[in-house]
Structure 1
Amino acid sequence: MSKLSDIGLTALAPAIWGSTYIVTTQLLPPGMPLTVAALRALPAGLLLLGIVRRLPQGEWWWKSLLLGALNFTLFWACLFVSAYRLPGGVAATVGAVQPLIVILIARLVIGTPIRPIVVLAGLAGMAGVALLVLTPKAALDPIGIAAGLAGAVSMAFGTVLSRHWQAPVSPLTFTAWQLTAGGVLLAPLALFLEPSLPPLSVQNWIGFLYLGLIGAALTYILWFRGLRLLEPAAASVLGFLSPLVAVLLGWIILGQSLSLLQMLGVLVVLASVWVSQRSAMRR
């Protein structure tokens, strides 16, 4: 498969993650972020485990647990705290710092050189996300900011370590291990910190099935496959597609307005992704 195809398949993951906001707000019960996160990760992980029928061996028990905590438990918990305490635009902009953190961690952990063009693409992508989602009335909350940064750091470490350790199994099995571990760690948090789940409607079931099968199982198989083939920094820049898709879905499905600044943000985000991937392909 060509490098361009690998980039395209990997990019599908963050693009699909961009639909999480509209699915959560339109189809799922409100005010239960940890429960939603646990039900997104654990059933999908157990389903994939049933398919692969293979458990971790030796050191991969603790590595899978750590990666599951970084990529799912800590990241999703911090993400929801940030989303609840900050306006959506501020939370998305704080989270957009992740590619820059990945560049630094990849340098420290696996010795990946810091390339100016990728740093510039990361900064441009942050600016593009800010144009997409920030509003003049955006308010700052210290706890929300801290949670957003912690989530970005958690996912950045998970991204780099997933590439660095290179599990001796298929991306399907690797995803099964991590999703199950993340879901197991999220479940007690949801049980102790949130009320019981109300009876589910048909649209609730549709939302959970979508987030579990498409938004978690399928996308993370593509994501972890991509991390084997792409440099962590190049892969992380693809994450800018998530807020881009979220804004476009709000415009197309919910009839939300799209200003000139947001249109400029769309172009800046696409340009940053294109520049970073073109640089990676040349190498």
Structure 2
Amino acid sequence: MNSKKMLGALLLSLAASIWGGMFVVVKVVVETIPPIELVWLRYLIALVCLMLFAVIFHIKWRFNQRDLGIIILIGIIGNAISIVTQETGTWLSNAQTGAVITSATPTFMIIFAWWLLGEKLDAVKIISVTMATLGVIWIVGVHFSGTHVLLGIFSLIIAALTWALMSVLVKKVSGTYNSLQITIMSTFVAFVCLTPFVLSHMDVITRAHYLDPKIGLSLLYLGIVSTALGFVMWNKGLQLMNAASSGLFFLFQPVVGTLLGWLVLGETISWGFVFGTMMIIGSVWVSIRFAK
């Protein structure tokens, strides 16, 4: 593995680990601030942080008009739809379910990379997709009770699909921009899209107790660490590796999310949940071990 791929692997691993912890933070704060408003606040904080990064590193902007459509799609599909459904799903289920079901993202990325980028879809990739799908189905079966839980699981599956599509679309953006610029533009698109919904429920924003350490620190983590740093690292890692391989590093997300859900929130780990997780992790191992 050359130095660029090593750096890409490191950045993708760090981003996925950060997002694993994010599920626990979301589960804590989403009881006070609903998902759409929470994502909006998260992006507001992230944009301030990202623009400071751009000033500090003297980023020069050269906009390529032919990338406008892709940037808008990345913002709507990945930063808006995926994150809102992810936080909604975590709210309606639990941190473990959120971390594990969205870890099916790598297999969806393989399909989208084949469809949109022409990356070869071989037997190894098909087997890994099948294993991850069975793992998700097993988890769904284990938690197959209660209307809200079912809606949460559906939301999380949508989150995994849309994040996978967004990650592949990032590969289609021209080399005109660095990862910081892509993150700023896509986050701004999502922020604008969510603003009309938030303005109609401003009472939710104004009555939140931001001085409560649980709320304030959670928002700072989600905005600065999980969004600003996490998104930049993920987008940079995507630029350094092919789409199918990039998705494999989502493995760190369910591991961190499950462990923190157990340690911090006291969520139980059932055998069915463990089996589903092992199936998803096994799909990643098959992709790494037998890929040509």
Same-fold call, TM cutoff 0.5: yes
Q: Which residue of 2 aligns with 1:65?
A: 72
Q: Which residue of 1 aligns with 2:23?
A: 21
Is structure 2 residue 12 aligned with structure 1 residue 10?
yes
**In structure 1, C-alpha distance between the alignment counterparts of 2:289 and 2:174, rounded to whole Å:** 24
Give the TM-score normalised by the residue count of structure 2. 0.79
**In structure 2, C-alpha distance between the alignment counterparts of 1:234 and 1:127, rounded to whole Å:** 20
**In structure 2, C-alpha distance between the alignment counterparts of 1:51 and 1:149, rounded to whole Å:** 33
**In structure 2, C-alpha distance between the alignment counterparts of 1:236 and 1:6, rounded to whole Å:** 11
| Contact 1:45–1:175, Cα closer than 8 Å, also in 2 | no
- For residue 93 of structure 1, report the CA deviation from its aligned partner: 6.3
The more displaced of 164-173 and 106-115 is 164-173
| Contact 2:29–2:215, Cα closer than 8 Å, also in 1 | yes
- For residue 268 of structure 1, report the CA deviation from its aligned partner: 4.2
| Alignment map for 1:43-54 (pairs within 5 Å) | 43-53=45-55, 54=60
| Alignment map for 1:54-93 (pairs within 5 Å) | 54-55=60-61, 57-59=63-65, 60-83=67-90
> Which ranges of structure 2 fall in alignment gaps of 5 or more residues?
none
| Contact 1:35–1:191, Cα closer than 8 Å, also in 2 | no
| Alignment map for 1:183-202 (pairs within 5 Å) | 183-193=191-201, 195-197=203-205, 198-200=208-210, 201-202=212-213
* Match for residue 179 of structure 1 among 164, 175, 187: 187
- For residue 249 of structure 1, report the CA deviation from its aligned partner: 0.8
Q: Which residue of 1 aligns with 2:250?
A: 239
Is structure 2 residue 264 aligned with structure 1 residue 253?
yes
The more displaced of 263-272 and 2-11 is 263-272
- For residue 161 of structure 1, report the CA deviation from its aligned partner: 1.0
- For residue 177 of structure 1, report the CA deviation from its aligned partner: 1.6
The more displaced of 173-182 and 76-85 is 76-85
| Alignment map for 1:28-43 (pairs within 5 Å) | 30-43=32-45
In structure 2, relative to structure 1, the CA distance for the partners of 1:190 and 1:56 (3 Å cut) is farther
In structure 2, relative to structure 1, the CA distance for the partners of 1:259 and 1:150 (3 Å cut) is closer
In structure 2, relative to structure 1, the CA distance for the partners of 1:4 and 1:44 (3 Å cut) is same
> Which ranges of structure 1 fall in alignment gaps of 5 or more residues?
none
**In structure 2, C-alpha distance between the alignment counterparts of 1:79 and 1:237, rounded to whole Å:** 19
**In structure 1, C-alpha distance between the alignment counterparts of 2:101 and 2:278, rounded to whole Å:** 20
Deviations for 1:98-149, whole angstroms, at most 9, x for unmatched residues?
4333222222221111022123223333445566786355346776566444
SS in 2 for 1:100: helix
Aligned residues: 281
Deviations for 1:28-76, whole angstroms, at most 9, x for unmatched residues?
6525111111111232123212432555624244432221111111112
Cα RMSD (Å):
3.2
| Contact 1:78–1:148, Cα closer than 8 Å, also in 2 | yes
Give the TM-score normalised by the residue count of structure 1. 0.82
SS in 2 for 1:30: coil
Is structure 2 residue 216 aligned with structure 1 residue 209?
no
SS in 1 for 2:145: coil
- For residue 94 of structure 1, report the CA deviation from its aligned partner: 5.6
| Contact 1:21–1:246, Cα closer than 8 Å, also in 2 | yes
The more displaced of 262-271 and 2-11 is 262-271
| Contact 2:81–2:162, Cα closer than 8 Å, also in 1 | yes
| Alignment map for 1:105-254 (pairs within 5 Å) | 105-128=112-135, 135=142, 137-139=144-146, 147-193=155-201, 195-197=203-205, 198-200=208-210, 201-254=212-265
